[in-house]
Amino acid sequence: MPNNERLPHEKMRFQLVLRRRGISDQAVLRAMEGIPRELFVEASDRVYAYRDTALGIPCGQTISQPFVVAYMTEQLRLDPRHRALEIGTGSGYQAAILSRLCHEVVTLERFKTLAETARRRLAATGCDNVEVVLGDGFDVPANLGTFDRIMVTAAMEEIPKALLERLEPGGILIAPVGPHNDGQVLVRVRRGEEGYDSENLVAVRFVPALPGLAREL
């Protein structure tokens, strides 16, 4: 079967896999169905776009497996009024999913190549409520303000206090936390009236989040 004829079948199976693995938020499932994942992977990997696996992208980064994208998105409990921050744009796929579920998305990427490619992909898919910023996820520009939701899509050894402070009261942050050379735990943090409450969710493995802008690419 030619590759372009296989995609609809793979996409249908991908939705079934998400449901079987416990994704139940209908808004998240609709967003996952509506965003063409094949446009956010490398051309040579398009036949694999809807398989439940991470895929490599330039600059030594990855596009997360669909279940992880859906699970992290569901755990944020997004509302159409929310303003969301993503640390680690990568391919732009996660930002595209978020764009269908909240009012505004700001996504930071330290690699210029990835930021530029993501801008083109997001524009092509009509995600006009996403702003891609070339920047350092450990030093979010002050002019970007605060956010109702924050998602970190690369592993941090600990969540910086400065990032937590960008959460609005009642806000939620989700991030993979743990050593860069091993697995991590997905942590959800809520900002309450008197501080922050954290909860460990599931074991994950992400590429490391590094400070500063990338010197190359």
- The tens-digit pLDDT sequence of the chain (217 residues) is 445 555 677 888 899 999 999 999 999 999 999 999 999 999 999 999 999 999 999 999 999 999 999 999 999 999 999 999 999 999 999 999 999 999 999 999 999 999 999 999 999 999 999 999 999 999 999 999 999 999 999 999 999 999 999 999 999 999 999 998 888 999 999 999 889 999 999 999 999 999 889 876 5
Residue 213 lies inside a defined structural domain of this protein: no
Residue 88 lies inside a defined structural domain of this protein: yes
Domain encompassing residue 12: 3-204
pTM: 0.93
For residue 101, the cross-strand partners are none
Residue 204 CB burial class (10 angstroms; 0-12, 13-18, ≥19): buried
Q: Determine the pLDDT at residue 2.
A: 43
Count of domains observed in the chain:
1
Q: Determine the pLDDT at residue 194.
A: 86
Residue 140 lies inside a defined structural domain of this protein: yes
Q: Per DSSP, which regions of 10-96 are E strands? A: 55-57, 61-63, 83-87
CATH assignment of the domain containing 83: 3.40.50.150
d(CA 3, CA 7): 7
Helices (H), 21-65: 26-34
Q: Determine the pLDDT at residue 170.
A: 96
Q: What are the residue numbers of the active site? A: 64
Cα angle, residue 73 at apex, residues 69 and 76 outer, rounded to 5°: 150
For residues 57 and 42, the answer to whether their CB atoms sit within 8 Å is yes
Residue 131 lies inside a defined structural domain of this protein: yes
d(CA 185, CA 203): 4
Residue 188 lies inside a defined structural domain of this protein: yes
Residue 59 lies inside a defined structural domain of this protein: yes
Mapped onto helix, strand or coil, the DSSP state of residue 51 is coil
Residue 211 lies inside a defined structural domain of this protein: no
